[in-house]
Amino acid sequence: MRFQTPLVPGRLIKRYKRFLADVQLEDGRVVTAHCANPGAMIGLKNPGLRVWLEPNDDPKKKLKFGWKVAQLDGGAWVGIDTSVPNKVIKEALHAKQIAELSAYDTILPEQKYGANSRVDFLLREYGLHDAYVEVKNVHLCRQDDWAEFPDTVTARGLKHLGVLGDMAEAGHRAVLIYCVQHTGCGRFRLAHDLDPAYAAACVHAKVRGVEMLCYTCDVSITEITLRGALPLGSSAA
Residues 111 and 197 in one domain: yes
Q: Along the 237 residues of the chain, how does pLDDT read in single tens digits?
A: 999 999 999 999 999 998 999 999 999 999 999 999 989 999 999 999 999 999 988 777 889 999 999 999 999 999 999 999 999 999 999 999 999 999 999 999 999 988 788 999 999 999 999 999 999 999 999 999 999 999 999 999 999 999 999 999 999 999 999 999 999 999 999 999 999 999 999 999 999 999 999 999 999 999 999 999 999 985 554
Has residue 147 been placed in a domain? yes
Among candidate residues 49, 76, 103, the one where a domain is terminated: 76
pLDDT at 57: 81
Torsion of Cα atoms, 97 then 102 then 105 then 109, to 10°: -60
Q: Which CA distances in Å does 57 have to 20, 61, 87, 221, 224?
A: 18, 8, 22, 19, 22
pLDDT at 237: 46
Residues 194 and 158 in one domain: yes
CA atoms within 13 A on the CB side of 78: 27
Identify the domain containing residue 60 by its residue range: 8-76
Using DSSP's 3-state secondary structure scheme, residue 217 falls into: strand
Q: Which residues contact 233 (CB under 8 A, 6 or more apart)?
A: 146, 187, 188, 189, 190
Say which CATH number the domain at 71 has: 2.40.50.580
CA atoms within 13 A on the CB side of 145: 11
Taking Cα atoms as reference points, which of 104, 110, 65 lies closest to residue 86? 110
Residues 89 and 163 in one domain: yes
Helix boundaries (H) for 6-107 = 84-94
Residues 151 and 225 in one domain: yes
Has residue 19 been placed in a domain? yes
pLDDT at 234: 57
Residues 122 and 97 in one domain: yes
pLDDT at 23: 98
Residues 92 and 199 in one domain: yes
d(CA 210, CA 196) in angstroms, rounded, equals 18
For the chain, what is the domain count?
2
Residues 105 and 184 in one domain: yes
Has residue 212 been placed in a domain? yes
